[in-house]
């Protein structure tokens, strides 16, 4: 899948989700429209904790076309942990981490192996 970027509104939503769930983590799955990340889904049964968030994989709908995940790091560390890498490997190829204090520059995108991806923020019309 060729991912062109993330919509500005979707990025703002992820940063707000981080703020609203702080000091707990949130986790969600992402999908695209025409190569742009525009959809954020919280899977039923997802639990956000102070050190991690867990997703019930058996609750993920089939054939939705998720391309990756998003979650928060209340600590502000915007890099994947070993647990994140294990999660990434099960949920797609494009993963966004938002970190405290959840400002416009407090996020990064990663491949499933943890290498950084430059992701363009695409203005919404």
pLDDT for 5-63, tens place per residue?
999 999 999 999 999 999 999 999 999 999 999 999 988 767 776 667 767 666 676 66
Does 57 reside within a domain?
A: no
* Cβ neighbours for 125, distance < 8 A, ≥ 6 positions apart: none
Stated pTM of the model: 0.91
Which is catalytic among the residues 20, 25, 118, 120? Answer: 25
* Rounded average pLDDT over 102-125: 96
Asked if the structure places residue 74 within a domain, the reply is: yes
Q: How far is CA 11 from CA 51, 78, 86, 90, 106, in A?
A: 22, 15, 23, 22, 10
Q: What CATH number is associated with residue 9?
A: 3.40.140.10
d(CA 119, CA 68): 13
Q: Is 50 helix (H, G, I), strand (E, B) or coil?
A: coil
H/E element holding 16?
A: helix 8-21
In this structure, is residue 59 part of a structural domain? Answer: no
pLDDT (0 to 100) of residue 63: 66
Q: How many CB atoms neighbour CB 35 within 10 A?
A: 13
SS3 20: helix
Residue 90: the pLDDT is 86
Which pLDDT score is estimated for 7?
98
Can 25 be counted among the known catalytic residues? yes
15 part of a folded domain:
yes
Residue 93 lies in a domain: yes
Q: Which has more confidence, 48 or 116? A: 116
Query: In the chain, how many domains are there?
Result: 1
The DSSP code for 58 is: G
Q: pLDDT for 61-110, tens place per residue?
A: 666 789 999 999 999 999 999 999 998 988 899 999 999 999 999 999 99
Q: How many CA atoms lie within 13 A of 33 on its CB side?
A: 7
pLDDT for res 28 = 92
Which residue range forms the structural domain that includes residue 92? 5-52+65-109
């Amino acid at each position: 899948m060729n991912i062109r970027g993330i919509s500005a509104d979707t990025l703002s939503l992820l940063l707000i989700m981080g703020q609203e769930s702080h000091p707990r983590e949130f986790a969600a799955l992402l999908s695209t429209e025409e190569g742009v990340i525009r959809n954020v889904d919280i899977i039923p049964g997802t639990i956000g904790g102070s050190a991690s968030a867990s997703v019930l994989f058996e609750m993920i709908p089939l054939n939705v076309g998720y391309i990756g995940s998003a979650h928060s790091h209340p600590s502000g560390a915007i890099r994947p942990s070993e647990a994140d890498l294990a999660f990434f490997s099960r949920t797609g190829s494009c993963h966004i981490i938002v970190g405290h204090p959840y400002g416009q520059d407090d996020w990064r995108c990663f491949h499933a192996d943890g290498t950084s991806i430059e992701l363009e923020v695409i203005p919404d019309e």
